[in-house]
Amino acid sequence: MRRIALYSVLLAMAAPWAGAQTTDRATKELIEKLLARIDGLEKRVAELENGKATAPAAAPEAVTAAPLAKAVSATQAMHQSHDQAPAPQTAGPEATPVYPSLKIAGFSDLDFSATNLHSAATGFGAQTLLETHSGFEEGQFTLHLSSALSPKVTMFGEITLTARSDAGTGSPAAAGFNAEVERIMIRYDANDYFKVSFGRYHTPINYWNTAFHHGQWLQTTISRPEMTQFGGSFIPVHFVGSLIEGAAPAGGLNLNYAVGMGNGRGQVISRGGDFSDINNNRAWLVDSFIKPDALYGLQLGGSLYHDSLNPLTAPAAREWIESAHLVWQKETPEFIAEFANVGHQPISGATASNSQAWYVQTAYRLPWLQKLWKPYYRFEYIHVPKSDAIFRTVVPTFHASTFGVRYDITTFAAFKFEYRSYVRRDAPNFHGFFGQTSFTF
């Protein structure tokens, strides 16, 4: 009797799902999943029946109903965890949220590179995968944690384990993994217009830096543009301090803003001031962008950043960064363009310098072959004048073209294949082939 009732419940639950499908692959998968659930439930019913045989004979129906409901809920959750993206969550029977509500998601990637480089590509970030030897590389293993602590307070964290040639033990250091807290923040949301947070961020003066973070699977290409590469120095990738941010409809423009104050760059300028600032001048930033209702998918924005630098290997200077971006967030086509100008004014009064970087990336998800293929192209450019004492030894001057294709093997995993060609100032040109599989879990 209970089994019949159980089947009826399942049938009622399944009907709306099946409703929008005919006999396509999704429907078949759905039926297979439902059958798997039935197997699980049958097993559970059998267990309950066996348990009932040894239990007191007069066990009331209501008592067995509760474990049954739990079993259904558990199988639902199991089914959900494999069928749904990590972000959407199953609505349980309880309407009241529970705090804290920790959720963990992950990203990772494995890479292959082969170039005709004969010496180290100085100034490029390690994750640009420019090695003198071809081979496979373990990318990053990234864990993302989010937890609502109350209706208005939320924490977010991002931890990475990154393969490095010098992260292991011994002398010289062996290869190993480097652990890093990439982002950690706690945010109080007063409303949509005003949110205040404290922590370690990816500096919000650049679109890519705050759109994809360490989730290689999220981005179309294998690697980030060099101007915003992890371990690179052109823009300060990390920012330790506080942000005030929010959004307002603004007559359909959907104006978003962020204002921040923090430690700025460390003495090694590719690093943020994690422990404390290296001087008594805080860095500050203002960032703003619009997402107009009338052009759904468009984002247009700009930002301003200021810091005082005391680098290890160059004279102290004031740094100003102006940047802008234009993005079409859809995939037919996808378009991302960014520009940044970094100005350094030595405090000693020496000649000021300005370095520029920009890139344009376009991609298109092909309408055929189940829309799994997305070819792409990116042109990127960085120019550092020789008068820039801070950048000239750590930021390469080059331009490069990247041709590639992304193939989404499942909803949550992709293969990417690229050919890149680099033209450098004062160094030989080179090119290479690159491959990656990246995924979320």
Which of positions 157-186 make contact with another protein (CB under 8 A)?
Answer: 158, 183, 185
Distance (Å) of CA 113 to CA 93, 129, 139, 227: 49, 6, 12, 20
For another protein, the closer CB: 158 or 388: 158
As given in the structure block, the two tokens for residue 130 are 């420019």
Q: Total number of residues binding another protein (CB under 8 A)?
A: 77
Q: Is 242 near another protein (CB under 8 A)?
A: no
| Distance between CA atoms of residues 293 and 299, nearest Å | 10
| CA–CA separation, 11 and 13 (whole Å) | 5
Which residues, 6+ apart, have CB-to-CB distance to 314 below 8 Å?
389, 390
- Rule CB under 8 A: say whether 20 interacts with another protein: yes
Kindly tell me which of 201 and 422 has the beta carbon lying closer to another protein.
201
Please pick, from the candidates 187, 271, 318, 383, the single residue that binds another protein as defined by CB under 8 A. Answer: 187
Q: Could you tell me which stretch among 23-31, 115-123, 229-237, 354-362 binds another protein (CB under 8 A)?
A: 23-31
Is 58 a residue that touches another protein (CB under 8 A)? no
Residue from 74, 114, 167, 211 in contact with another protein (CB under 8 A):
211
Q: How far is the CB of 227 from another protein (least distance, A)?
A: 20
CA 410 – CA 389 distance, rounded (Å): 47
**To which residue do tokens 């970030």 refer?**
125
Residue 32: strand, helix, or coil: helix
Tell me how far, at minimum, the Cβ of 218 lies from another protein, in Å.
Answer: 5
**Residue 366, phi then psi, degrees to nearest 5:** -70, 140
Q: Is 55 in the site for another protein (CB under 8 A)?
A: no
Torsion 207-213-217-221 (CA) sign? positive
| 368 scored as a contact of another protein (CB under 8 A) | no
C-alpha to C-alpha distances, 437 to 59, 153, 178, 215, 258, nearest whole angstrom: 54, 35, 21, 12, 34
Per CB under 8 A, the segment of 29-37, 173-181, 301-309, 423-431 that binds another protein is 29-37
The answer to whether 215 touches 412, Cβ cutoff 8 Å, is: no
Could you give the string, one character per residue 76-95, with x where binding to another protein holds by CB under 8 A and - elsewhere? x---x--xxxxxxxxx---x
- Site for another protein contains 249 (CB under 8 A): yes
CB 217 within 8 Å of CB 337:
no
Residues 216-235 that bind another protein (CB under 8 A): 218
The smaller minimum CB distance to another protein, of residues 354 and 362, is found at: 362
* Piece of the chain touching another protein by CB under 8 A; list 52-60, 188-196, 267-275, 316-324: 188-196
50 counts as binding another protein under rule CB under 8 A: no
Report the nearest approach of another protein to the CB of residue 203 (Å).
Answer: 14
Q: Residue 127 to residues 16, 182, 366, 367, 393: CA-CA distances in angstroms?
A: 46, 15, 28, 31, 19
Compose the 110-149 pattern: x for residues touching another protein by CB under 8 A, - for all others. Answer: ----------------------------------x-xxx-
Applying CB under 8 A, among 5, 7, 81, 425 the residue interacting with another protein is 7
Nearer to another protein, 29 or 274 (CB): 29
Among 2, 70, 103, 425, binds another protein (CB under 8 A): 103
- Cβ of residue 162: shortest distance to another protein, in angstroms? 17
Could you say which residues in the range 390-409 bind another protein, by CB under 8 A? 408
* Binding window for another protein (CB under 8 A); candidates: 26-34, 277-285, 316-324, 426-434: 26-34
Q: Out of 123, 125, 139, 215, point to the residue binding another protein (CB under 8 A).
A: 215
Q: How many CB atoms lie within 10 A of CB 384?
A: 25
* Rounded distance between C-alpha atoms, residue 222 and residue 211, angstroms: 15
Q: Is 178 helix (H, G, I), strand (E, B) or coil?
A: strand
Helices 61-83 and 2-18 cross at an angle (nearest 10°) of 30
Contact 340, 357 (CB under 8 A): yes
> Is 189 a binder of another protein (CB under 8 A)?
yes
- Give dist(CA 2, CA 393) in Å, integer: 74
CB of 298 to another protein, least distance (A): 13
> Which residue from 160, 161, 200, 213 is in contact with another protein, where contact means CB under 8 A?
213
